[in-house]
């Protein structure tokens, strides 16, 4: 089995289980809107539901749910096509794409099951809150950052620029 396929088949279930179990735990043990401080003035577990996308984008649009479901399937297909085109030595890119794919699937499960996404990770400084997020969102963000880094390094390698590994 190719290394990139092994990454996909081992990491995706792990992220999906972590994402869905944490959301289920929050849903079963907390009231909507309830907040539990973890690091006072910096981080709380706060049970919220997001009908939109990042930063509640399109949360009030009547057509949001079919739109987000369609976009999720298109994004997942594009990620799988890109994944298939990776060389077997591109494990970092495979890891990155797997994170993004797993996060997309995790949030899609919520949209299909609940019509919205459960968020609970609340990072803030005093009264300035970053929009709440979840494990799937974290996987997507980390995956995108890693993919951007990989693309930058791949371009430098292609131009013969020596990079430190």
pLDDT of residue 57: 65
| 137 flagged as catalytic | yes
Q: Is residue 165 part of a domain?
A: no
Cα 26 to its chain centre, rounded Å, is: 18
Catalytic residue among 19, 110, 122, 137: 137
Contact at 8 Å (CB) between 76 and 62? no
DSSP structure string for 12-50: HHHHHHHHHHHHHHHHHHS-TT-EEEEETTTEEEEEEEE
Q: Is residue 18 part of a domain?
A: yes
Query: Could you tell me if residue 143 is inside a domain?
Result: yes
Residue 44 contacts residue 131 (beta carbons within 8 Å): no
Pair of tokens at residue 72: 């999720």
Candidates 110, 119, 122, 150; catalytic one: 119
> Is 28 a domain residue?
yes
Segments forming the whole domain that contains residue 76: 3-158
Give the count of domains, the chain. Answer: 1
Let me know: does 67 contact 58? Beta carbons within 8 Å: yes
Q: Give the pLDDT of the chain (165 residues) as one tens digit per residue.
A: 789 999 999 999 999 999 999 999 999 999 999 999 999 999 999 999 998 776 566 666 777 788 889 999 999 999 999 999 999 889 999 999 999 999 999 999 999 999 999 999 999 998 898 999 999 999 999 999 999 999 998 887 776 555 555
Please check whether residue 42 lies inside any domain of the structure.
yes
What is the predicted pLDDT for the residue at 59? 63
- Predicted local distance difference test score (pLDDT) of residue 56: 63
Q: Is residue 16 domain-resident?
A: yes
Confidence (pLDDT) at 55: 58
pTM of the model: 0.88
């Amino acid at each position: 089995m190719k290394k990139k396929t092994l990454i996909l088949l081992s990491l995706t279930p792990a992220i999906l289980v972590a994402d869905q179990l944490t959301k289920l735990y929050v849903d079963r043990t907390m009231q909507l809107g309830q907040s539990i401080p973890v690091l006072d003035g910096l981080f709380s577990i706060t049970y919220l539901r997001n009908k939109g996308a990042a930063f509640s984008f399109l949360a009030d649009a009547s057509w949001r749910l079919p739109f987000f479901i369609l976009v999720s399937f298109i994004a997942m297909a594009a990620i799988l096509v890109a994944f298939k085109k990776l060389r077997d030595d591109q494990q970092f890119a495979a890891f990155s794409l797997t994170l993004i794919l797993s996060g997309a699937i995790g949030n899609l499960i919520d949209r299909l099951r609940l019509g919205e996404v459960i968020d609970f990770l609340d990072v803030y400084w005093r009264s300035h809150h970053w929009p709440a997020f979840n494990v799937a969102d974290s996987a997507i963000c980390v995956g995108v950052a890693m993919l951007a880094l990989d693309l930058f390094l791949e371009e430098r390698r292609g131009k013969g620029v020596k990079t430190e590994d």
